[in-house]
Amino acid sequence: MNESNISTEPIGQNLIKLISNLCFSVFVFSVLIFTVIAITYQPPDPWLESAPALTKLFTQTENATFKDDKSILKTGEDLPLVLGAAASPVSSITEAVIEKSEKEIKNLTVMAESECEDLKVVNCSDPRVLIAVERFNLKYFKSIVFLEYKTPVNGSKSNECDVAWRFRNKKEKSWRRYRDFRRFRFGIGENCTYKVVYASGWHSGVNARRMFRSRFNTTRSATIRDDEINDTIPTLGSEMNFRKGRYLYYSRGGDYCKGMNQYMWSFLCGLGEAMYLNRTFVMDLSVCLSATYNPSNKDEEGKDFRFYFDFEHLKEVASIVEEGEFLRDWKKWDRSHKRKVPTKKVVTHKVTPMQLRKDKSTIIWRQFDAPEPENYWYRVCEGQAAKYIQRPWHALWKSKRLMNIVTEISGKLDWDFDAVHVVRGEKAQNKELWPHLDSDTSPDALLAKLQGMVQPWRHLYIATNEPFYNYFDKLRSQYKVHLLDDYKELWSNTSEWYNETTSLNNGRPVEFDGYMRVAVDTEVFYRAKTRVETFYNLTKDCKDGVNTC
């Protein structure tokens, strides 16, 4: 009996040890696997994902039809730098740059104390005048980056100078430059220097501006032209240049006359496919503006792409040719040569870009003749193609002519204002989807809400689709209220915008339409210091209706 006990005891102990070691090994192995997964796994980033993620992010649709949305889809200059928004190629005027200039002046000039009397008559060409202006601007205008100054010129009095400069807004990621010119009054500062004692408002330094007289408006006062805009249509040149090219041509499809968001989504699909195939994209500059943006509630054809988007930037970053130029050269070649231009016609979006990658035809012609929604351009980029086609958001910027209006309004408010976005219109009338929106955006409710968010007597810009101008009068008891229609002169028939769009439109005046209004309203709103949103701050209703929050 004793011998039996002695012989079995080690076996039990060994079994327990074996089980313990096995459990410990499983635990260690599990921890190791979990650690590896934790280190290597990265959650999907919607900014870096391909088309499916961007589809959800920008359109919030799950099928092949778009919601009727009048909001502004963000374009390339609004998106993070990972999508290609370029940094400014021009260095900015900083405090360090000013100090360097000041040091150079001191090395060249040593003034006696008695000579400070000479500063009472301001010499506008004196470099110290410009330094005083640069310091003043850096102190008071925190939201803009100053890029370039012109030499100051005389103002209307002996102690005044007019100064012009180029700048960009910090909230805009594009490298586009804007201009301002103001009148400054000077006094004597410390150590025989100038100091700014008064600065006039936006575009007040009229002697420093560059004038331009439009050939379409010769009887009116001269206006200022933005000579940095170059949106002329590029040409292919000789016949041989045309034949050597490789083109992707999209016929007009069901996207025509749809909302602008759908237009952009489809256009960037086509441009993205052209880049994938290493081809020149044939582009129709004619845009049909959906009825949702027009007071007449009718679609309007014949709008120019350049009214809404920056064609100059698009030309710089993508290979494109205008449709009219392309078709003329194509017909000219076919008339003068026995051998026609090699063309591959693609009649369905189900032929993927990957299948066309090795095609050697001069022209790949996608035709969209099927019924809706099979004839939408963006269908080309769905399914498997979404893994290969990257929409080039960086190529599409808003029109600089519209952004000049945004800058003018912001500048007139000295870049120091707050804003509220008040959505009303059809949504306020639809009590089934938005039961509280109408009452939550009433003048009394707005005033009560804003008093807790915006300081009294601040400049308050109201971005809204409310058609009745005096609807917000009650807010004027507490704030300096500004609406888009307060700035009608910026698109009137004496304005820079009017002259330039008329020139683009072959001498025919262009209407400042509903999409332009929403675009400008939205961009001014983005530049405010305090921003109050309708569906975040003013009402608990959901943006897309009941139960969509």
Joined together, the tokens standing for residue 437 give 């929106």
Q: Contacts by 443-446 with C-beta closer than 8 Å and gap 24+?
A: 443/471, 443/472, 443/473, 443/474, 443/475, 444/474, 445/538, 446/420, 446/422, 446/472, 446/474, 446/475, 446/538
Report the run of H or E that residue 10 belongs to, with start and end.
helix 2-40
pLDDT reported for residue 6: 44
List CB contacts of 8: < 8 A, sequence separation 6 or more. Answer: none
Q: Yes or no: say if 77 and 173 are a contact pair by the CB < 8 Å rule.
A: yes
Classify residue 107 as exposed, middle or buried by CB count within 10 Å of its CB (0-12, 13-18, 19+). Answer: exposed
Instruction: Tell me the C-alpha distance between 102 and 95, whole Å.
Output: 10
Mean pLDDT, consecutive 10-residue stretches, the chain (549 aa), reads: 49 68 71 55 36 45 56 74 48 79 66 58 90 94 92 93 94 87 90 89 91 49 64 77 90 94 95 98 96 89 96 94 94 87 96 96 96 95 95 94 96 96 94 95 97 96 95 97 97 94 94 94 95 95 89
536 secondary structure, DSSP code: I
Pairing of strands 178-188, 160-169: antiparallel
Using DSSP's 3-state secondary structure scheme, residue 419 falls into: strand
Place of tokens 């934790």: 38
Question: What b/e string do you get for 519-539 counting C-beta neighbours within 10 Å, with b at 16 or more?
Answer: bbbbbbbbbbeebbebbeebb
239-395: CATH number: 3.40.50
What is the C-alpha separation between 427 and 543, in angstroms, rounded?
A: 9
- Given this model, what pLDDT does residue 238 score? 67
Alpha-carbon span 72 to 350, nearest angstrom: 30
The mean pLDDT value of the chain amounts to: 84
Q: What residues contact 343, with CB distance under 8 A and at least 6 apart?
A: 361, 362, 363, 364, 365
What letter does residue 272 receive in the DSSP assignment? Answer: H
Q: What is the pLDDT of residue 301?
A: 94
Phi, psi of 53 (to 5 degrees): -70, -40
Question: Radius of gyration of the chain from Cα atoms?
Answer: 31
What local confidence, expressed as pLDDT, does residue 47 receive?
32
List of residues 6+ apart from 203 with CB closer than 8 A = 180, 181, 182, 209, 408, 411
- pLDDT of 244 reads 85
First and final CA of the chain: distance in angstroms?
Answer: 78
Q: Which long-range contacts (CB under 8 A, 24 or more apart) does 155-158 make?
A: 155/124, 155/183, 155/184, 155/185, 155/205, 155/207, 156/183, 156/207, 157/185, 158/121, 158/122
Tokens of 143: 């939201």
Find, among 483, 437, 438, the residue nearest to 464 by Cα: 483
As a 3-state breakdown, the chain gives helix, strand, coil percent values, each rounded to 5, of 45, 15, 40
Domain boundaries in the chain? Answer: 95-208, 239-395, 400-538
Q: For 342, which DSSP code?
A: P
> How far is residue 234's CA from residue 439's CA, in Å, rounded to a whole number?
52
CA-closest candidate to residue 127, choices 145, 151, 110: 151
Neighbours of 393 (CB within 10 A): 24
Q: Do residues 428 and 437 make contact, with C-beta atoms less than 8 angstroms apart? A: yes
How far is Cα 256 from Cα 266, in angstroms, rounded to an integer?
10
DSSP 8-state secondary structure symbol assigned to residue 377: G
| Tokens describing residue 135 | 């310091």
Q: How far is the C-alpha of 254 from the C-alpha of 415, rounded, in Å?
A: 42
CA distance 448 to 537: 12
Return the closest-CA partner of residue 390 out of 399, 398, 381. Answer: 381
- Quick one: pLDDT at residue 137? 95
Tokens standing for residue 294: 């027009």
- What is the DSSP annotation of 180-203? EEEEEEEEE-TTS-EEEEEE--TT
177-180 contacts, C-beta under 8 A, 24 or more apart: 177/90, 177/147, 177/148, 177/228, 178/403, 178/404, 178/407, 179/224, 179/226, 180/411
Record the pTM: 0.82
